[in-house]
């Protein structure tokens, strides 16, 4: 059994593939963060616009 780290045992082609895969995953994660931020912004905007229209008539002056 070798004491070397398994990544060190990869061929040059496998190391390149692993590097590209790692970069794609990092890029995808950044895209997901942006998407989640946009969705949260949209939900907040919808809530701020719809909540007063739906709740205020039901609660009367209590919402203000």
Determine, yes or no, domain membership for 62: yes
Determine, yes or no, domain membership for 11: no
Determine, yes or no, domain membership for 2: no
Please give the angle made by the CA atoms of 19, 21 and 24, to the nearest 5 degrees: 110
pLDDT band, residue 61 (cuts 50/70/90): low
pTM above 0.95, yes or no: no
Determine, yes or no, domain membership for 12: no
Residue-range definition of the domain harbouring residue 53? 34-64
**Residue 28: pLDDT above 70?**
yes
Determine, yes or no, domain membership for 61: yes
Determine, yes or no, domain membership for 44: yes
Pair 64, 56: CB distance under 8 Å:
yes
> In sequence order, which residues have a C-beta less than 8 Å from that of residue 10 and are 6 or more positions away?
18
Model pLDDT for residues 43-55, shown as the tens digit of each residue: 999 888 887 777 7
**Cβ neighbour number for residue 10 with a 10 Å cutoff:** 13
Domain count, the chain: 1
**Residue 64: pLDDT above 80?**
no
State the pLDDT at residue 1: 47
> Which residue would you say has higher pLDDT here, 46 or 62?
46
Determine, yes or no, domain membership for 5: no
């Amino acid at each position: 059994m070798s004491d070397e780290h398994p990544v060190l045992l990869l061929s040059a082609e496998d190391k390149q593939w692993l590097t590209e895969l790692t970069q794609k995953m990092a890029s995808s994660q950044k895209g997901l963060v942006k998407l989640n931020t946009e969705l949260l912004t949209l939900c907040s905007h919808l809530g701020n616009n719809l909540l007063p229209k739906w709740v205020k008539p039901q609660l009367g002056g209590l919402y203000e």
